[in-house]
Structure 1
Amino acid sequence: MKKILFVSSEVHPLIKTGGLADVAGSLPIALAELGQEVRIIIPKYQALKLEEEITYLCTLRINNRDVNILETRLPDSDVIVWLVDCPEYFDIPGNPYSDEFGNAWANSAARFCLFCRVAVEVSQNRAHLDWKADIVHCNDWQSGLVPALLTLEPQRPSTVFTIHNMAYQGLFSKTAYFDLNLPGQLWNPGALEFHSLLSFIKGGIACADHITTVSPNYALEIQTAEYGYGLEGLLHNRHHELNGIINGIDTDIWNPETDPRIAQNYAIDSLPKKAGNKLALQKHCSLPEEPTIPLIGLISRLVDQKGIDLVIDCLGDLVSYPVQFVLLGSGEKGFEHRLKNLSYLYPDKISVSIGYNEDLAHLIEAGSDMFLMPSRFEPCGLNQLYSQRYGTLPIVRRTGGLADTVVDAMPDTIADKTATGFMFVEPSVGAMLETIKRAILLYANKRIWQQLQKNAMRKDFSWQKSAQQYLDLYNTL
């Protein structure tokens, strides 16, 4: 049994801004179910949704500040969560990265530096919690200082650093480095210095014993200039200690057999019942209730990374085909307005809901025939996994985790029953439109389509599978 300290800036359902929270809320539970002793450590933000009882454990003196360590549990589990309580830094309105008005915190470096220092003290049992970590598993730039600081410890745990998205790096000025009173020996290109800046993420990449990303393909992509953001050389240099492990999904929440948020439950052997969800979705979106017309769903942040501009540029052509399109998301105001305008122009073809609605998200996954994800880059992606579980075939761009989890429907993959969706390579309107047309043509062949749905629904995207891969990795360190 390993003692694992899981260091994350967000954990679902306590606080969430993105996919990192889903991983941090699921992987520790799956590891605990494999018999490991896991502790999660996270800042005690004002916005935390705390349901379980909280107890005070101790007070640490860090950089002339008193910091309390509190204990609670992850809801519906036995996993212990340690909260880093520093009111001056964390007990203020806003989310982990920005204030209540959406502005990035001016003192982000100080906040997460303090968090990292506390994680180091806890891992070394210097918080006197009678618990010393064997493995410290850090996630994204907010915890990047932990592996770097631990290299200075004579007796230290092994460290794993997981990159969820290379686009966010935690870059700060050289003065910030010295203001934070960080050890002088870490100010070098082999640790925290990046072109005379302090780079939190570089600390994790350069100093951790092992680096993981959230898909095998993304592990290769970040070693290239296009996706490496200046750190591709370092990542390539460490490619022997770098691998990708696909994120799992919560198969209890995302399960068409038991999902309480959808209109009609169904399974692989009762696929015709899926049609009830399509009618419910068409009704909800005020679209013509036509069972035979292919319906394409999309749930996304409306930003460039997700290829939303391609979708907007494609919709004008797409409406000339027998197809309906349902979108749920929010993001850049320009994209929101353009999508809304298209839904007003083609009300019997396009439905656009701005915002986020968990019930509608589940209904879109269950009620759509196809699910569109034309991302420019996608470290892992979750919606293509949900879609396959619901027999909704994904149409994706061949990048990152999308390339690792969807098998393109080609004559050979259809014949050997491995095909689970559709894929295009070029991030262009033409390539995407051709692939959508290919999907619409295949949709007309009900026998083949149902086989593809069953192929997709049989795939195992559970956290148990991913957790076992992480455990195998821990055991090699």
Structure 2
Amino acid sequence: MGRPEESRSEVSAVALVGGLGDVLSALSKALQRKGHLVEIVLPKYDCMQYESIQDLRVLDLVVESYFDGQLFKNKIWIGTVEGLPVYFIEPLHPAKFFWRGKTYGEPDDFRRFSFFSRAALELLHQADKKPDIIHCHDWQTAFVAPLYWDLYAPKGLNSARICFTCHNFEYQGTAPASEIASCGLDIHNLNRPDRMQDHSSPDRINPVKGAIVFSNIVTTVSPTYAQEVRTSKGGQGLHATLNAHAQKFVGILNGIDTDSWNPATDSFLRFQYNTNDLEGKAENKKALQRHLGLSFSDSRRPLVGCITRLVPQKGVHLIRHAIYRSLELGGQFVLLGSSPVPDIRREFEEIAKNFENHEHVRLILKYDEALSHSIYASSDMFIIPSIFEPCGLTQMIAMRYGAIPIARKTGGLNDSVFDVDDDTIPVQLRNGYTFVTPNEQGFNGAFDRAFNHYKNDNESWQELINRVMNIDFSWDTSASQYEELYLQSVSRARAARQAAG
């Protein structure tokens, strides 16, 4: 198979927003290692980390794309990011769509990303690209699927299969139906219950629904989450559409970039370490305690880590509870995370203030990449008490650094954390502590057992650390599953073309 073309709104190291950018660059690199030509198409944001782009240059190719009844020129740039070729589209549009100082969260996001989706397809068409797979991610590039079949396949860009991955069905990008016309899509054809009409109103359009209907392959980021979103409770209004297209919908667990997340080579750490020599983990813990002004007199006092966005999805009431429960059980607690929700932000600022001089608790309410590596390396346990979690990467990273996860059984957490006391799970797969009910009692059931284990059976705890650090959470397995889906879809399309003669 030749080339997956990745149409996406962000990629790690350039326009990283949360875990999506991490996932996209790691998947692309894994596919590239398997011998595929992977090219990425991104908007040219003004707020990108330009120092991460090698050989950035403008192409002698001006791509014109349709929007609001007229053609607009797009300047096309190309560069290399982490060994991957990336095309950057700079719209010469008076609205300055991607010169806003941020990637998402603008009032006209629907217009910005529908413009980008059409321009990206126009780039493929005008540059005479012939991808086997066009892989789109989340609602911002969901427009590609209907645009491709309605407008570009008839123009001759018809060799590709469309793969759409939704990383979180909570975000669907709905808008008034009239807005779909700007990028050239036909409202009357698409604003129908079996196509793009949102379940909430006949006057609203849903890009994610359109991508589910019009893509050849639809994926999400873990097998359990794929089951959850096919129910009325978890589907965010899209369960009926997903069930109608179930034959092409699959959950594939994300991996992590094991080059970036490797305690043996991590340049952010004061002390590197591995499963054969865990002394560096203890030294990192001491260094972090010193750095944050925490007590380090008792090396056997367990340190509980938490790195997260403080939003309702992440179980903030349980994170708050865990701070106090850690103290009651004789532990320390470190939280790194910020919140876009004013009430939650104020609440945690108040908690941080109360503990600012405490010897066993520290809350750092911001994003800090270097500190995140130190916390993973220093923590004995790591909490992920999410209400729902499509995949979750923190539990995988924590395990790679020898921190034992305490997680709620939901989504990707259910596919990657298996309780040490669960007799139905093979012993060699048990790697943490889990709970089901998202309340304090449910959380304590797992949390207290972890503390008892840590304090009362050091030898078995060390064995558990070795086990979790040796689990393969690399992208190789997941990339192989994507590769298989791509190949099957391309083969079916070729067979159908031959049959049609």
TM-score per shorter chain, which class? over 0.9
Larger displacement relative to structure 2 (170-179 or 68-77): 68-77
Indicate conservation of the 8 Å contact 2:418/2:425, yes or no.
Answer: no
Q: What pairs up with 1:39-438 in 2 under 5 angstroms?
A: 39-50=39-50, 51-52=53-54, 53-63=56-66, 64-77=70-83, 79-88=84-93, 89-98=96-105, 105-123=106-124, 126-127=125-126, 129-152=127-150, 153-154=153-154, 155-183=158-186, 184-194=188-198, 195-196=201-202, 197-289=204-296, 290-331=298-339, 332-346=341-355, 347-410=358-421, 412=423, 416-438=427-449
Indicate conservation of the 8 Å contact 1:300/1:330, yes or no.
Answer: yes
CA distance in 1, matches of 2:449, 2:205: 48
Per the alignment, in what secondary structure is the counterpart of residue 90 of structure 1? coil
Indicate conservation of the 8 Å contact 2:334/2:362, yes or no.
Answer: yes
Indicate conservation of the 8 Å contact 1:170/1:200, yes or no.
Answer: yes
Indicate conservation of the 8 Å contact 1:295/1:326, yes or no.
Answer: yes
Offset, 1:345: 4.2
Equivalent of residue 468 in structure 1, options 453, 462, 480: 480
Larger displacement relative to structure 2 (429-438 or 79-88): 79-88
Instruction: Report the CA distance shift for 1:340/1:288 in structure 2 as closer, same or farther (over 3 A).
Output: farther
CA distance in 2, matches of 1:415, 1:164: 29
Indicate conservation of the 8 Å contact 2:62/2:76, yes or no.
Answer: no
Per the alignment, in what secondary structure is the counterpart of residue 311 of structure 1? helix
Indicate conservation of the 8 Å contact 1:417/1:452, yes or no.
Answer: no
Larger displacement relative to structure 2 (323-332 or 463-472): 463-472
Indicate conservation of the 8 Å contact 2:229/2:239, yes or no.
Answer: yes
Q: Deviation per CA, 1:28-59, whole angstroms, max 9, x where unpaired?
A: 12211111111111111111223322122422
Larger displacement relative to structure 2 (461-470 or 87-96): 87-96
Instruction: Report the CA distance shift for 1:21/1:177 in structure 2 as closer, same or farther (over 3 A).
Output: same
Indicate conservation of the 8 Å contact 1:318/1:433, yes or no.
Answer: no
Instruction: Report the CA distance shift for 1:341/1:121 in structure 2 as closer, same or farther (over 3 A).
Output: closer
Indicate conservation of the 8 Å contact 1:281/1:364, yes or no.
Answer: yes
Matched AA of 2:26: S
Matched AA of 1:459: I
Aligned to 1:456: 468
Q: Deviation per CA, 1:341-365, whole angstroms, max 9, x where unpaired?
A: 4445451221111111111101110
CA distance in 2, matches of 1:31, 1:251: 15
Indicate conservation of the 8 Å contact 2:134/2:160, yes or no.
Answer: yes
Instruction: Report the CA distance shift for 1:282/1:419 in structure 2 as closer, same or farther (over 3 A).
Output: same
Instruction: Report the CA distance shift for 1:413/1:72 in structure 2 as closer, same or farther (over 3 A).
Output: farther
Indicate conservation of the 8 Å contact 2:9/2:42, yes or no.
Answer: yes
Query: Mind listing any 5+ residue stretches in structure 2 that lack a counterpart?
Result: 490-501
Counting matched residue pairs gives: 467
Instruction: Report the CA distance shift for 1:25/1:415 in structure 2 as closer, same or farther (over 3 A).
Output: closer
Instruction: Report the CA distance shift for 1:91/1:244 in structure 2 as closer, same or farther (over 3 A).
Output: closer
Offset, 1:179: 4.5
Offset, 1:137: 0.4
Instruction: Report the CA distance shift for 1:342/1:179 in structure 2 as closer, same or farther (over 3 A).
Output: closer
Aligned to 1:6: 6
Per the alignment, in what secondary structure is the counterpart of residue 396 of structure 1? strand
CA distance in 1, matches of 2:26, 2:302: 34
RMSD (Å), alpha carbons: 1.9
CA distance in 2, matches of 1:473, 1:130: 25
Q: Deviation per CA, 1:157-187, whole angstroms, max 9, x where unpaired?
A: 1111001011110101022133444224233
CA distance in 2, matches of 1:326, 1:434: 21
Indicate conservation of the 8 Å contact 1:166/1:228, yes or no.
Answer: yes
CA distance in 2, matches of 1:372, 1:87: 46
Aligned to 2:495: none
Offset, 1:12: 1.4
Per the alignment, in what secondary structure is the counterpart of residue 41 of structure 2? strand
Matched AA of 1:56: L
Offset, 1:203: 1.2
Structure 1 runs (4+) deviating above 6 angstroms are none
Per the alignment, in what secondary structure is the counterpart of residue 372 of structure 1? strand
Per the alignment, in what secondary structure is the counterpart of residue 394 of structure 1? strand
Give aligned-pair identity as a percent: 35
Indicate conservation of the 8 Å contact 1:31/1:467, yes or no.
Answer: yes
Normalising by structure 1, report the TM-score: 0.93
Aligned to 1:34: 34
Matched AA of 1:293: R
Q: Deviation per CA, 1:312-337, whole angstroms, max 9, x where unpaired?
A: 13433442211110111110343344
Offset, 1:276: 0.8
